[in-house]
Each structure stands twice: as structure tokens, then as C-alpha cells.
A and B are shown apart, each in its own frame.
Chain A
Amino acid sequence: MSAGTNVVTADRNFPKHQDLVEERLVLWYFVAALTFMTVSMLAGTLMGLQLIRHNPLPAIEILSPGRWRMIHTNAIAYGFLANAFLGIMHWVIPRLTLRPCLNRQLSYLIFAAWQFVVLATAVGLIFGQAQGLEWGETPVWIDPVAQLGLLLVAINFGAPILQTRGPMYVTLWYYLAALVWTFLTYAMGNFVPEYFVCGSSAGAVGGLFIHDLVGLFVTPLGWGMMYYFVPILLKRPMWSHGLSLVGFWGLAFFYPLQGIHHFLYTPIPMFLQYGAVLSTIALELVVVTVIINFVGTLYGTGGLVVTNLPLRYFYTGILFYFLTCLQCALQVTMTFQALIHFTDWVVGHAHMVMFGVFSMWQLGVMTYLVPRILKTEWYSTKWCEWHYWASAGGLLVMSGDLILGGLFQGWSWAALQPWDASIRLSLPFWSVRLVAGLVIFAAQLLFLLNFYLTWRNAPRSTSVTEPASGLATA
């Protein structure tokens, strides 16, 4: 447990941490990520208030809840998740490969370019220039810029990974594949259904895009991160290398095949729908192997989940991951779809994946890295605890509430009740969702404040001159 045990690396011929990791950039990415998360949650609050008919700023064109609902999803995907992942990759990849990213200037250029892409998307959406595909709403003129940005990201991070010799660690499998997949997925979703195919075929491609964006961009970057941080925090290797292999290759094979499960009972050919359903259920089996591997790694040291906050974030996310994937395997069947498609069930599911799993993991990594980069303790560890409990609790209430509400909506529709009956019965669920959302939002604001006060406490002479204490663990 003492910090001294890990200083061994310093006197060998390994490159020094401060020559590898551009710590300032990691922090910048975190600040950008949390800023966009605030924007996203403001947008979500606005839509939540609109649903219960208490929108405080109604009938203003640039504050239209319909437009801000798209800012909510895009700011989370491209503003929060992508920025946090990029920051974390700037920490993980150089330390795993023992090589810095290809070019320091390029790293900063990518940072600036990505903030431009996200901001421009938000502005485009506010002025009503969206395109008609979820997460592909990015206005036409930004698509090529974002595509170029993703290419630069792949080059900048790909270079150190490709220079390593011999077999790579699990994290790098996920990262390397994700760099290829993200580029291809973005290209597929933002160009094919807009310019080349229409109708049901566009639906099939659109389904692939929204699914791959979660499965081939967010998921591999998330798991790559877990395979890196969990063994470090537990100071032991992964339980089974074989299961790591099964997990990666199972995900790589089955994940891309499921896009069409978002559009079941549409005019898309039935055999393709069944194929998507089957591969979704197959993936659930792969997910179980990954969960077993992580639980196996924890086995015997479970108490650490209580005392170590970042670890608690990680395993909470892993638990939610198991729940969402189990839910996936059930809700993807035609029987469930008949009832829950188009309802708030799906919205609850989406929040559990994006916030309960990936955001929780990233917030955990931030909780772990920020004090290491700033070389000072958190301003208030108590606030960190509050942040965890309000985030996890708020999310649990929100998704549980929406999933339950979705069932009632589905039954109301199937019973051919008048449409406003389904609105009336949704109101209590929407109200609870709003409160849960506000709790989550408040927790993030507290985290931001904590971050700011910690930064203000940080020693003035920054990372460049100080010896790296980053390798030491809590």
C-alpha cells in the first residue's frame, strides 16, 4: 500500500513519465469533457421540464427543446465521452507503449480541432441544421472536419502502438481496434445514409451506425481503460488471459452484426432482423465471460471496492454493464420489442449504458488521475463520495423509473387507449426522472467545483519539473 514500492521503474533505462505523458493536455481534456457534460445536462433538464409542461423558457426558437434534445445526446457522445476518452488515452497509451504520442503539436491541434467540432455541432443544432440520424445530426459541413480529426487521432495514437514489439497488452488490442472502428463507423453513418441509400436500407445503415458508435467506439475504449486501471488499482494481473481473448474477439465479431436490432418490425427484411437478434443474444454470452474475468480479478479483495473510490466507480460500472447487457438480450427479442419499442424503456436503457457504465468509469478515472496530475489531494474527499453516491443513486432511480414507465406506455398503446392516456400515465414517471436527473446534475456540478478548488490548491511549479509521482498508487 505504500507509495515507495512502485518507484523501481525510475532507475532502469525506461523513459520517464514526464517525457511520455502530456499531463496538461489530459487535464484540459477533462475540463472540456466536464464542460460539455454540464451543457448536455442543461439540455436534458430543459427537455425533462418540457415533458412535464414546466418549461421555464418556452416558445424561444434557439431554446427549442427539440433542438436541445439533440444537443443533449451529441454533447454527451462527442463532448463528454470522446473528450474524456482522449484525455485518458493520452495517459494510458504512452505509459503502456513506453513511447510518447506521435507529435506533441499534433496532440494540441487535435484537442483544439475536436473542441471546434463539438462546439460547431452544438451551434449548428441550435440553428436547426441537424441531419436526420441519431448521433449523426452533426451538420453537413462539419462531417468532413470531424472525419479528418478522427484520422489524425488514429495516426497520433496509432504510431506509438504500432512501434511496440511483440504481443500487446489487452488494453492496446481494444484501443488499436477502436481507432480503426471509430473512423470507419463515423464515415459509414455520416455519409452513406445521407447521400447514397434511402428508405429501409438507410435504416439498416443507420441502425449499424448508432449501434457501432456505442459498440465499436465507446465500448472498446471503455473496456481498454478498465483492463488498464483495474489491475493497477488491485495490484494484480487480470484473472484469466484466455477470457480476455474471448472477450475481445467475441465483441469484435458479434458487436458489428447487431445494428438492425434497433429497427425490429420495420420493413427491413425479416431474416436480417432475426440475424441481428441472434448475434445480440450471442454477445450476451461473451459479456458474461468478461464480467467473470473482472469479478475473478477482484476475488479475495472485494473489500477494496468499499474503501477505494475509483475502484468502486469501476465495479459499479461493471455491474451496470452486466445489467444493461442482460436487459439487451431480453429486450431484443421480438416479444419484448412488441411491447417496449418506442417507449421510455429504451430511454432508461440508454441512460444506464451511457451514464451508468461509461460515464461512471470515466468519472472514476478522473477521480483517480486528477490528484496524481495536480500533485495534491482532492480538495474534499467527502465531496468525491457525494459525487459517487448521487451519480450512482440518481442513475439507478432514473433508469429504473424510465424502464418501468416504458412498460406502462407500451401497455397503454397496445390497449388502444386514447393517446393522451399514455401521456397522463407518463407524468409521474417523467417527474421522478426529472428529480433523479437534477440529483445527477448537482453531483457533477459539485465534482466540477471540487476539481476547480483542487486545481487552485495545486503546487504552482507544474508537472514539468517535478518528479513523476504518477506511478505511485493510493
Chain B
Amino acid sequence: MFERKSGIILIAGIGFFALAFLSNAVVPVLMYQHMPEKSVKELINGNLRYQFEDLAQRFPEAFEKAYGQPPADPEQASTWYNDHCESALKLGHQIYVGEGCWHCHSQFVRPVSNEDRRWGPVSKSWEYQNELQRPVMFGTRRVGPDLCREGGRRSSDWQAVHFFNPEALSVGSPMPRYPWLFDGAPDKPTIRGLALLTYIQWLGSWHETYPYYEDYIPVPIKTASKTE
């Protein structure tokens, strides 16, 4: 058996591979069956809608160029924003993957190494049960910070300038510049730029402690008034 073709093909080749696939892949699939995969449409929440409409306020010309005018009727406008938010989220995810962002930024907070103090609550399985985590964006290397609690933490203005020229905001950052997401200036994101901004603002928007600020201590009003 050990040196024969049948043993090697059937037992080692197919058998052991199948055993590993069953125990390491099929088991978690079955365990998460009660958490069905959410579609992109189902992922749009209040926080993200706020951010998406905020993009329309911050970059009105760019937004109009990319998506046109929203309908005047408030109800129609709401579906209009939802539809464009959905397509922006999809495209943003595609850019995040295509540009290889996930090779330098992880998307999960571990329960060790003080990570919950830096980035917020430890990651849970339900957060990943959606279309945009297929394949999952856990990441393998952190040259830059983790991004799974990035949404809402910084304004879209900050994010736009940072994509355009990271060193303008983070001194000494090794992150490359992404000017092709803009029409020549950080306040003129293209449809791709708006999409990536939407995607970044989505990250963590589902969480109850949104936005999460690193070591955030609210300034007591008394101290604030004293300094004035």
C-alpha cells in the first residue's frame, strides 16, 4: 500500500486531502450555518448612509459627476442614495482588493497584544458573514494599521487627502500615493475615489461602539471652559 500507485493516489493524494478539507473547512462552514451571508444591500446601515450623503456634501461636484442628481422626492431620493451606496461599496471593495490594500492593512482585532485598546472590540464571526468578506479580508501583514474599525474614525476629507498624498497627513508614512483615484486634486475624487472612501467608512460601521477612537477620553466641560 505505502509504495503503490493506488495507495499514493487514493489515500495520500485524495484521502488525506479530503480529510483535511472536511475537518478544516467543512466544519466551520457547518458551524456558521445559522449566520447566513449578507448581501451588499443588506450591509447598508445608518452610519454608512450618513457617510455616503456626507460625501455628497463635501465633494458636491465630484459626487454629481459620478452619480448625477438625486431625485427631488425624499422617498425616491432615499432609494437613490441606497442604490448608489451599494454600487459604491462594491466598487470600493474591488479597488481595495485590486490595489492590494489588504497586503499592508489587516481587518481583524485580536484578543491579544493590547489590540482591543488600540482598535476597539475584538473581532467576532458575525462581522464577517457577508458578501464583501468573500474571500475574507483578514490580511496577513500590518505595515499600516488595522482597518476594521476605521469607519467614522476620521473624516472623508482626511481620508481623501491621505489617499492623494499620505505623507501630507502621516509624516514618514511608507504608504504609496493614489492620485489616480482623483481628478488632479484631493477634493475631486473620481467615481473610484468616492467608492473607496465609502468602503473605508463602511469598515466597522456595523458596530455599536462606532466610531471607535483610540484611547478616547471625553474632555470634561469644566476643563475645557477653564482653558478658554
Contact = CB atoms under 8 A, between A and B. Distances in A.
Interface of A: 50-53, 55, 58-59, 61, 64-67, 69-70, 128-134, 136, 161-162, 167-168, 173, 176-177, 179-181, 184-185, 188, 192-195, 197-208, 212, 216, 245, 248-249, 252-253, 256-257, 259-260, 262-263, 265-269, 272, 275-276, 337-339, 341-344, 346-347, 410, 413-416, 419-420, 423-424
A420 B173 contact: yes
Given A181-B17, A256-B17, A200 B128 contact: yes
Nearest to A195: B134
Interface string B68-101: 0000000000000000000000000001011111
A200 B17 contact: no
Contacts of B168: none
8 contacts: A129-B98, A177-B9, A205-B25, A206-B138, A208-B20, A249-B2, A256-B16, A342-B106
Contacts, number: 236
B4 interface: yes
Interface of B: 2-5, 8-9, 11-14, 16-17, 19-21, 23-25, 27-29, 31-32, 35, 37, 95, 97-104, 106, 108, 110-115, 117-118, 123-125, 127-131, 133-145, 167, 170-174, 176-180
B28 A420 contact: no
A402 to B, nearest CB: 11
Contact of A204 (B28, B98, B173, B176): B28
Contacts of B112: 265, 337-338
B103 A199 contact: no
Nearest to B93: A132
Nearest to B170: A420
Contact of A202 (B17, B98, B111, B133): B133
Main secondary structure of the interface of A (DSSP, over half): helix
A71 B82 CA distance: 36
A167 to B, nearest CB: 4
A200 B134 CA distance: 9
Given A53-B167, A64-B100, A266-B123, 15 more contacts: A58-B176, A59-B176, A61-B180, A64-B178, A65-B176, A66-B99, A66-B103, A130-B100, A176-B13, A184-B13, A202-B135, A249-B12, A253-B16, A256-B19, A423-B174
A133 B135 contact: yes
A201 B25 contact: yes
A267 B172 contact: no
Contact of A199 (B117, B118, B130, B142): B130
B20 A257 contact: yes
B36 to A, nearest CB: 10
Given A59-B177, A181-B17, A416-B117, A134 B98 contact: no
A294 B135 CA distance: 40
